[in-house]
Amino acid sequence: MRSLIDILDLSITELDELMNTAIDIEQHPERYRSACAGKKLATLFFEPSTRTRLSFEAAMYELGGNVLTMSGESSSTTKGESIADTAKVISCYADIIAIRHPKEGSALVAAKNARIPIINAGDGGHCHPTQTLADLLTIRREKGRFEFLTVGLCGDLKYGRTVHSLIEALSRYEGIRFVLISPKELRLPEYVKTEIIEKNGLSFSEVSSLEDALPELDLLYMTRIQRERFDSLETYERLKDSYILTPEKLTLAREDCCILHPLPRVNEISVAVDDDPRACYFKQVENGKRMRMALILKLLREAEKPEKEKLGEGFLLEGRHCLNPRCISHTEQELPSLFKKTAGGVCRCVWCESAVG
């Protein structure tokens, strides 16, 4: 059963096909109004969401399907039910599941146990592949290419799952250069730099000044400092206003710079920037719905194939457990601590991809 857990689950060819389908949906919506008639999407959201949840639900309705919706507060997980059991149960009611959960690796656990396709709608600070689909279509439409772009990523690069997924996706294209703009406490994890950016032969620089970086950027990807990812309120309060994009700062940017943001915005982009033609974050929202429509169509079509996708495979290390407190392995019933070795020889948790010390 084909699922989407990580953006790298999709090849470049498949990404191009999804973007082409999304554009066709925009141009010829009448062709798709009954494409999912008789099918049901279950949205399982254990974290707050506006855009992602409504985007999935609108996508399914516009394809002629129906939606079953469930929040963490109203589910049996409040009684202690595992993600694995939840996925098995929902497989009896729906044809496809979109899941968001605060534990890293939760979507993979769901996919390993479900009998229907799973779409990762965000698992903690790990990854968010469908936001990346929205980002990629926006970049393609605004810039016309993915190659030879200088991409600035600003804000919470440590816990920002949208940032991690976008880097994974763009690292497969030639000539990409990343400018990583963050306070030292929120720098991009080392494994993303070494095992994704450097492994693909791309360059990056780390800076703390947004103003210094702006003149060289083709794309600026702003992110909010996420209160829900911090264990210390004091640290969050100290860092939350690190970067605020204003019209005055934008005078330093190129005329064709594309400004992206996964939303929600708190105050890191002034509302005065919204009318600037370079602001593309509300276009991302529109593009996200159509890319999710294309993805739902693809996964439901491929669900008819009999073969089972191999997921969650790894090996045991005697006496070793994942040390990431946000990993699903700490809360999921009888979930084994499994590990894998990357191409670079680093041992990582199968579920959340944290390195084993």
Q: What does the pLDDT read at residue 345? A: 79
* Same structural domain, 276 and 330: no
212 and 228 fall within a common domain: yes
pLDDT value of residue 224: 84
- This prediction's pTM: 0.90
Mark whether 289 is an active-site residue.
no
183 pLDDT band (50/70/90 cuts)? confident
User: Are residue 189 and residue 246 in the same domain, yes or no?
Assistant: yes
In a domain, 171, yes or no: yes
**Residue 307 belongs to a domain:** no
Q: Is 2 a member of any domain?
A: no
Is 52 noted as a catalytic residue in this protein? yes
- Tell me if 116 is assigned to some domain: yes
Mean pLDDT (whole number) for 199-204: 94
Other residues' Cβ atoms within 10 Å of the Cβ of residue 91: 20
Q: Is residue 43 in some structural domain? A: yes
At residue 193, the pLDDT reads: 92
User: What is the percent of the chain with per-residue pLDDT over 90, rounded to a whole number?
Assistant: 71
Q: What is the per-residue pLDDT for 344?
A: 72
- Selecting among 128, 164, 261, 348, the annotated active-site residue is 128
The one catalytic residue in 21, 39, 43, 52 is 52
> H helices of the chain, where?
12-27, 51-62, 83-90, 106-113, 129-143, 161-170, 190-192, 210-213, 233-239, 247-250, 281-302
Give the model confidence (pLDDT) of 95-113 as tens digits. Answer: 999 999 999 999 999 999 9
Residues 200 and 108 in one domain: no
Segment 8-20 shows an average pLDDT of 97
Average per-residue pLDDT for the chain: 91
Domain that holds residue 349: 313-357
Is residue 14 domain-shared with residue 77, that is, in the same domain? yes
What CATH number does the domain containing 173 carry? Answer: 3.40.50.1370
Tell me, yes or no, whether 86 and 202 share the same domain.
Answer: no
pLDDT value at residue 74: 59
Q: Which of 13, 28, 78, 79 is catalytic?
A: 79
Over the stretch 116-156, which tens digit does the pLDDT of each residue have?
A: 999 999 998 788 999 999 999 999 999 999 999 999 999 98
276 and 167 fall within a common domain? yes
Assigned domain for 234 exists = yes
Residue 341: band (very low, low, confident or very high) from pLDDT cuts 50, 70, 90: confident
CB atoms within 10 A of CB 102: 17
pLDDT digits (tens, 9 = 90+) for 42-69: 999 998 888 899 999 999 999 999 999 9
| pLDDT grade for 70, boundaries at 50, 70 and 90 | confident
Residue 72, pLDDT above cutoff 80:
no
- Domain tally for the chain? 3
- 156 and 243 share one domain: yes
Q: Is 112 a catalytic residue?
A: no
- Same domain for 92 and 146, yes or no, is no
Residues 146, 136: contact at Cβ < 8 Å?
yes
pLDDT surpassing 90 at residue 213: yes
- Whether residue 100 lies in the annotated active site: yes
Q: Could you give the CA distance from residue 177 to residue 170 in angstroms, rounded to a whole number?
A: 9
Strands (E), 182-256: 203-207, 219-222
Within-domain flag for 1:
no
> Looking at residues 200-228, what average pLDDT do you find?
91
* Within a domain: 64: yes
From 21, 39, 77, 100, active-site residue: 100
Q: Give yes or no: residues 42 and 144 share one domain.
A: no
Whether 278 and 293 map to the same domain: the answer is: no
Cα-Cα-Cα-Cα dihedral sign, residues 16, 295, 298, 121: positive
Q: What is the DSSP letter of 269?
A: B
Looking at the fold, whether 97 and 159 belong to one and the same domain comes out as: no
